[in-house]
Amino acid sequence: MYNIKNMTDIYLSGGITKKKSSMGIGNRLGGLISGIRFSIFYNCDFYIDWEPIPSLYLNYSDLIESIDLGTRRVLINQKNPQKKYLHKTKWRIDPLPSELDLPFFKNNEHITCKYNEISSEILESIIQSIKCINFNSSLTHQVDFFLESRFFLDKTIVGVSVRSWPDSSIRRKNYSIEHYINRMEKYNSSYIFFVSGDNQIEINKLKKKFSNRVVEFPRTTLRERVSNHKQTHLEDFIDFLILSKCQVLIGHFLSSYIEMAWFCGHCQSKLDLVYEPFNDDMRNEMPHIKWDC
């Protein structure tokens, strides 16, 4: 799977460089989780390329205070040309060499978009990798303060992540807010909806439909999939952290944003995923996905 001859350290570049302009929060975290798993497996240092790009215009330190790998070092933008690296260039969470014989990988090349199909051994490895990440405390404090508000008193929180796919013409033309409304209507008044997404107009439709049962984090910026404004992406990440703490998650199964929120919540949330619509364009775009779900 990987050429490890003379390899000394893990080097993560995929989903991080300026060329990968569509790689946002979910994809970057997927790359980090995968790199952490490989660093632990090979007992070596972890080198990370990190550049602000329009889909995530933030520095590493804006999101992450530290990654604790014990005696293994984590170095940001410090690649040494004299070293030999195992290059981790994909944003998906790849299997470790020790996992390839597990039944899960008989028909699967990647872990991405598999959710409850993932074996308990792999899930535990992913959760332990996430526990190595210490997110920026100023952001986590805002999340905790928000979740202590009166809106959530005696309520079960359903996190709703609406993806209208402004950056994907294939997915966008098949998007419908009704797919989300149909799922939200299943939950009675003992549930409250925390909503996030890439389009405020679509979120306003949910607010009109469900009234005071819909709550947002109080943003100071517009929701934009691509932006050069740091605060926009900080508030997107706060939304992400709140989603990770919800008891139920509604989102599209192809969205790495909702997938990583589920992982960061240690896979404790009940999943109520949007799978439709299936069409030939989407099947061709994501050939590694098992589409008969």
Predicted pLDDT at 143: 97
Instruction: Determine which of 37-41, 77-81, 99-103, 122-126 has the lowest per-residue pLDDT on average.
Output: 99-103
Predicted pLDDT at 102: 73
Predicted pLDDT at 89: 54
Predicted pLDDT at 3: 45
**The CATH number of the domain covering residues in 137-285:** 3.40.50.11350
Phi, psi at 283, each rounded to 5°: -60, -40
Task: Decide if pLDDT at 15 tops 50.
Answer: no
Average pLDDT over residues 53-69: 91
Task: Decide if pLDDT at 243 tops 80.
Answer: yes
Summarize pLDDT for 98-128 with one digit per residue, the tens.
Answer: 887 776 666 556 677 778 788 888 999 999 9
How far apart are alpha carbons 117 and 123 in whole angstroms? 10
Domain ranges of the chain: 9-135, 137-285
Average pLDDT over residues 206-223: 94
Task: Decide if pLDDT at 69 tops 90.
Answer: yes
Classify residue 43 as left (phi > 0), alpha (psi -120 to 50) or beta: left
How far apart are alpha carbons 257 and 243 in whole angstroms? 10
Predicted pLDDT at 17: 42
Percent of the chain with pLDDT over 90: 51
Burial 65-95 (b: 16+ CB within 10 A, else e): eebebeebebeeeeeeeeeebbebebbbbbb
How far apart are alpha carbons 239 and 217 in whole angstroms? 7
Tell me the pTM.
Answer: 0.87
Q: How high is the mean pLDDT of the chain?
A: 84
Do the Cβ atoms of 191 and 156 come closer than 8 Å? Answer: yes
Instruction: Determine which of 26-30, 104-108, 230-234, 245-249 has the lowest per-residue pLDDT on average.
Output: 104-108
Which carries the bigger pLDDT value, residue 105 or residue 235? 235
Predicted pLDDT at 106: 62
Percent of the chain with pLDDT over 70: 82
Average pLDDT over residues 185-204: 95
Predicted pLDDT at 179: 94
Average pLDDT over residues 232-253: 96
Is 126 in a helix, a strand, or coil?
helix
Average pLDDT over residues 63-84: 88
Which carries the bigger pLDDT value, residue 15 or residue 9? 9
Which carries the bigger pLDDT value, residue 28 or residue 276? 28
- Confidence band for 16, pLDDT divided at 50, 70 and 90: very low
Predicted pLDDT at 78: 87
Do the Cβ atoms of 161 and 182 come closer than 8 Å? Answer: no
Which carries the bigger pLDDT value, residue 149 or residue 244? 244
Summarize pLDDT for 138-190 with one digit per residue, the tens.
Answer: 999 999 999 998 888 889 999 999 999 877 777 777 789 999 999 999 999 99
